[in-house]
Structure 1
Amino acid sequence: MMADRRATVWLARSLPVLVALIAVPQLGRAHQIVTSRFSAPLPLPLLLAGAGGTVGLTALWLAATPESTTRSPRAVATIPSWLATGVRHGVRGSFLLAVAYALVVGITGRQVAAENIVTLFVWPVWFRGVALLSILVGSPWSLISPWRAIYDGLTRLENRELSVLGSYPAALKAWPAGVGFVLLLGITETLTVFPQSPRLTTVIVAVYAMVMVGGAVAYGPRWLREADPLGVLYRLFGRVAPLTITATEDGSYSLCVRPPWRGCLDPVEHGSLVVFVIATVYTVSFDGFTNTARFQSVLFGVRETLSTGPETSVLLYLVGLVGFVGSFGVSIWAVERLGAGSATDWLAAGRWFAPTLLPIAAAYEVAHNYPYVLRNLGQLAVVVGQQLGVAVETVSPLGWLSLPVFWGSQVVLIVLGHVVAVVAAHRVAVERYEGQAAARRGHLPLVVLMIGYTMLSLWIVSQPVIA
C-alpha cells in the first residue's frame, strides 16, 4: 500500500479521536471568550498531552511502516479552454475594479470600519480570504493580482515588457517580500489601528500599489513574483491545497486532487523563503496570542520594565520572530547532524524542510481566521447592497457557530495541520537521507519541534480572550 494512502488512513482514524476528545461534556474549567463563557471539554494539561501524543504517535507509526512511492495528483474534472479564458479575464477585471472602488469609498465614504467597503474588503476578504482560498485550491494571485493587471496593461500600451532599470537583482531573492510581509501583516494588521480606519487602510493599499507597480516597471515581472508579500504568501499556502488547477497542453485546465502534504515535499528556492515560511507560522500564532489577556500582561510588564510606549508590541513581535527563526535553525542543524552524520549542509536542509511547516501555518490560518473572513463577507454584502440601493437583510454566515464549536474546530484543525506536517517532514527525510534508520534519526528533532508547537498553539487558543 502506498505511503500517501497509509497516511490518509491514519488521518481518517485520528479525526474521530480528536472529535471525541473535544466533545466530552463539562470536564474542565470555564474559559472566557470576549463576554461569553463556556466550559472547556477537557482540562488543559490533558488536552495538550492528547494533542502532542497524537502528533508523536503519527511519527512513530510512519517510522515503523515501510515506505513506498508517492501518489501523483488525480484529475477529477476538466475546465474547457474557452470557459477558462472567459473566467480569467472576467475575474481579473472584476477584482481590479473592486480594489479601485474600495479605495475611492475609503476616502469618500463614512469613516466607520463596519460600514465602509475598504475596511470590510481589504483586510478580511482580500488579504485573509484569498489566503483561505489558496489553502483550498492553490494560489489565484497570478489571476487576480491588480498589480499584475496594471503592469500587463502598461506593457500592452508600450508594446514591450517594461524593465527600465534592468533585470531583477538576484541578490534580493524574496527578501523584499519577507520585509513587506512583516510590515503589512505582521505589524500593521496585527498591532496597529490601521485596519479600523478606512482612510488609513486606503493609504496602506495605495502605498502597496505604488511599490508593486513601480518595482515591476523598474525590474520587470519577476519583481511581482519575488517581491510581492501577498503573492509569495499565497503561493506558499497553495502548496498545502488538496485541490489544484493545472494547465494542459490543449489549453484546458485540470482540477486535480492530491494529499495535502504532496506540495510540501519540494524545497524552496533560497534561504529568504525559509525565513518567510517561519515568519508565516509565527505571525498567525502571534496574532492569536495578542487577543489574550496573557499577552496584555506581558506587554504592560515589558513596557513598565523598559519604560517604553506602544512600540513595545512591535518589539515583542520582532523578538519572537527572531526566536522562532533561531529555534528552526537549531532544529535543522540537529536534523542534518543526525540524518547525514554531519551538519555541513544544514542550510540546504533548511530549504528542504521549511515547506513541511506550511501545513501548520495553513491550519492555524484557517482555524484563526475563518470566522473573521465569513463574518466580514456577510457585512460586506449588506454594505454593498445599501450602496447599490438594494435592500439586503443582515447576512450572518456564522449564526449557527457557538463558542464551544468554534473552539473545537480550532483544536481539530491545528492538530490535523501538525499531523500533515509530520507526514511531510517524514517523506522529506526519507528522500534526503540514506536508509530508513537515518531518516528516522533526521526526522526526530522536527517531531519534537512540532509536538512542542502543537501544544503551544492549543495553549494559545485555550486562553481567555479579551474584548
Structure 2
Amino acid sequence: MRHCGSAQLKQLAAVAFLVMMAGDASAHGAERGLVMLLPTGFYVTGGALAVLFSFLLLAFAPSAWFAKGASIKIAPYFAVPKTPFSCLSFLLLLLCVVAGFVAPSDPLSNPLPLLIWTGWWVGFTLLQVVTGSLWPWLNPWNGPVSLLRKLVGPRLAKASHVNLPVSVGFLPAILQFSAFAWFELVSLAPDDPPRLSTAVIVYWLVNFTGILTFGEKAWLSRGEPFSVFFRMIGMLSPIGVSQSESGKMFVLRWPGDRSLVADALPPSGVIFILLTLATASFDGFSETFTWLGFIGVNPLEFPGRSGVMFANTLGLLASPIILVVLFYKAVIAGAWLAGEREITGWMRLSGKLVYSIIPISIAFHAAHYLTLLLVNGQYLLIMMSDPFALGWNLFGMAHWHVTTSFLLNIDDVRIIWLTQTGIIVAGHVIGIVLAHAIALRHFGEAKRAVVSQLVLAALMVFYTVFGLWLLSTPSVG
C-alpha cells in the first residue's frame, strides 16, 4: 500500500471531521465544531503583503489619479416614488411578524428568521454594495408615515415637532445598533420566531415614534441605525447619479468615490462606523478556541450561549472601545508625523478617514456570513414557495432539498476559504486606496498624505492578518 503524504492526511482528516460534525444549519449560524486544516499560513502572509504593497504603490502613484473620479453614463435617471415600495415592505414585514407567532416555530421554515437574518441582514446588505442604498425606498416607516399624514392632515405636520439636538449626534443609532448586535450575537435565541417577532415590533415602534417626534430627515439620518449603515454602504456602490447638461444620469464610477466629497463625520459618527466593524469582528472572534480559552470555557464541551452570555456581553462592549482607541491613535499619530498640530485638524481628518473603514466592515460582514448565505439561502428559497407550511408551491421550489455537500469536500472548502480570503484582502485594499485619496485632499500634497497614513496602514495590515486568522483558527461556530 502506498503511504499518504502529510498534506493528503490533513485533507482526509478534514473531510472525515466535517462529515462527522455535519448537521442542520440554524437561522443565524451553524452550531458545529470546525477546525480549518488547510495550509493557511501562506495565504495569511500573502494577504497582509498585498495590503502592504498596495500602500507602497500608492505612495508613488501620481496625485492626479485621485483628483477627480471618472464616471461613465449608463442610463437616464428616473425618479422612483418611495411611498408605494415602503408600504409594500411594511406589509411584507407585518405578514412575517404574524407568521413568527403562528407559523411553524422551526427557524429554518418560518419566514421571519429567514427573512431577517438571511434575506435582509446578509443578502440585502451586500446587495446595496452594488446598487447603492435602497433602504429609503424599502424601509417600513416612510410609507406608513406618509399615509398617516394624509389621513390626519395638518395636525401631523411633516416638519419635526422637536429638534433632535446636534450635540446628540449619532448616539440613538449607536445605542440601537448595539442592542441589535447584542440580540443577534449574545441573546439566547435570536432566531426563535416569537421572540424575533416581539423584537421586530419593539424596534419598529421605537423608530416610528422617533420619526413622528423628530421628523424623517433628522431621525433617519442620525437615529435609525440601518438608515445610517446602509447610506454609508451605498457610498461604495459603483452605480451613482450625476447631473449633466441633458439632465440627471445613472453613471458608473469608482467604488467609494462619493466618500471623498462627503462631510467629515463627528466623533459619534466615527464611533458608529467603527462599531459596525467591531461587532462583525467580535462575532467571529467569540467563536474561536482562543476566546473560549480566555474566558475559561472548554471549546470541546461548549455549553451553548447561556454559558457564555455574560462574557460575550462584556466582549461585545469592549470590542468597539478598543477599535475606537486604536483608530484615533493611528490617525492622530499619522497626522502628527505629517505636521498636523491642531486638534480640530485631527478631528476633521478622523471624521473623513473613517469612511475608509466602511469597505473593511463590509468585507468582514461578507466573509463571515458567506457559508450562512450558501446554506440558509437555500432554505429561504424553499420557504418562499411555501411560507406558512400549507403545502403551497408558489415558485416551484417547495420540494427542493438543501445541500451542504460543499462543506464536506476539501476542494470546495478550499474554494470557500479562498473566496473569503479574497474578500477580506479586497476590502482592506479598497480601504487603503480611499484613505490615501482622503489624505491627499486633506493635506494637499502627496508627501504629507503618505506620511499621515503610515500608522493607519500598519493598523490595516494588522487587521488583515486578524481577519484571515479568524477564518482559519479553530472555532465552534
TM-score by length of 1: 0.84
Give yes or no for contact 2:107–2:192 (8 Å, CA) kept in 1: yes
| Mapped pair 1:383 → 2:383 | yes
* Aligned equivalent of 2:372: 372
* Aligned equivalent of 1:131: 125
* Aligned equivalent of 1:182: 178
Counterpart code for 2:439? A
Give yes or no for contact 1:163–1:216 (8 Å, CA) kept in 2: no
Q: Aligned-pair distance for 1:203? A: 0.9
| Mapped pair 1:114 → 2:108 | yes
**Residue from 452, 455, 461 that aligns with 2:462:** 452
* Secondary structure, counterpart of 1:146 in structure 2: coil
* Aligned equivalent of 1:22: none
* C-alpha separation in 2, matches of 1:346 and 1:410: 34
Per the alignment, do residues 446 and 333 of structure 1 end up closer, same or farther by CA in structure 2, a change over 3 Å counting?
same
Coordinate RMSD, CA, aligned = 3.0
Counterpart code for 1:437? K
Q: How many residues align?
A: 433
Per the alignment, do residues 207 and 333 of structure 1 end up closer, same or farther by CA in structure 2, a change over 3 Å counting?
same
| Mapped pair 1:294 → 2:300 | no
* Secondary structure, counterpart of 2:453 in structure 1: helix
In structure 1, stretches of 5+ residues that fail to align are 1-24, 303-307
Give yes or no for contact 1:418–1:450 (8 Å, CA) kept in 2: yes
Q: How does 1:233-382 map to 2 (within 5 A)?
A: 233-244=229-240, 254-265=249-260, 266-300=262-296, 310-344=309-343, 345-382=345-382
* Aligned equivalent of 2:302: none
Q: How does 1:34-183 map to 2 (within 5 A)?
A: 35=21, 42-44=39-41, 46-68=42-64, 69-78=67-76, 80-81=78-79, 84-85=80-81, 91-160=85-154, 161-162=157-158, 165-183=161-179
Per the alignment, do residues 163 and 267 of structure 1 end up closer, same or farther by CA in structure 2, a change over 3 Å counting?
closer
Counterpart code for 1:448? A
Q: Deviations over 1:417-440 (max 9, x none)?
A: 111111111111111114222111
* C-alpha separation in 2, matches of 1:153 and 1:355: 35
Worse overlay, 147-156 or 254-263: 254-263
Structure with greater contact order relative to length (CA < 8 Å, sep ≥ 6): 2
Counterpart code for 1:117? P
Q: Deviations over 1:130-150 (max 9, x none)?
A: 211221211111000102222
Give yes or no for contact 1:337–1:343 (8 Å, CA) kept in 2: no
Per the alignment, do residues 237 and 426 of structure 1 end up closer, same or farther by CA in structure 2, a change over 3 Å counting?
same
In structure 2, stretches of 5+ residues that fail to align are 1-6, 23-33, 299-306
* C-alpha separation in 2, matches of 1:107 and 1:247: 48
* C-alpha separation in 2, matches of 1:65 and 1:131: 33
* Aligned equivalent of 1:10: none
Give yes or no for contact 1:137–1:245 (8 Å, CA) kept in 2: no
* Aligned equivalent of 2:433: 423
Counterpart code for 1:72? A
Per the alignment, do residues 395 and 227 of structure 1 end up closer, same or farther by CA in structure 2, a change over 3 Å counting?
farther
* C-alpha separation in 1, matches of 2:172 and 2:326: 23
* C-alpha separation in 2, matches of 1:397 and 1:352: 44
Q: Deviations over 1:267-305 (max 9, x none)?
A: 443221100111111111111222333332223359xxx
Counterpart code for 1:412? G
* Secondary structure, counterpart of 2:296 in structure 1: helix
Q: Aligned-pair distance for 1:92? A: 2.7
TM-score by length of 2: 0.83
Q: Aligned-pair distance for 1:249? A: 9.5
Q: Deviations over 1:155-206 (max 9, x none)?
A: 222334356742222222211001111110x211111233221011011101
Per the alignment, do residues 418 and 177 of structure 1 end up closer, same or farther by CA in structure 2, a change over 3 Å counting?
same
Give yes or no for contact 1:177–1:227 (8 Å, CA) kept in 2: yes
Give yes or no for contact 2:47–2:465 (8 Å, CA) kept in 1: yes
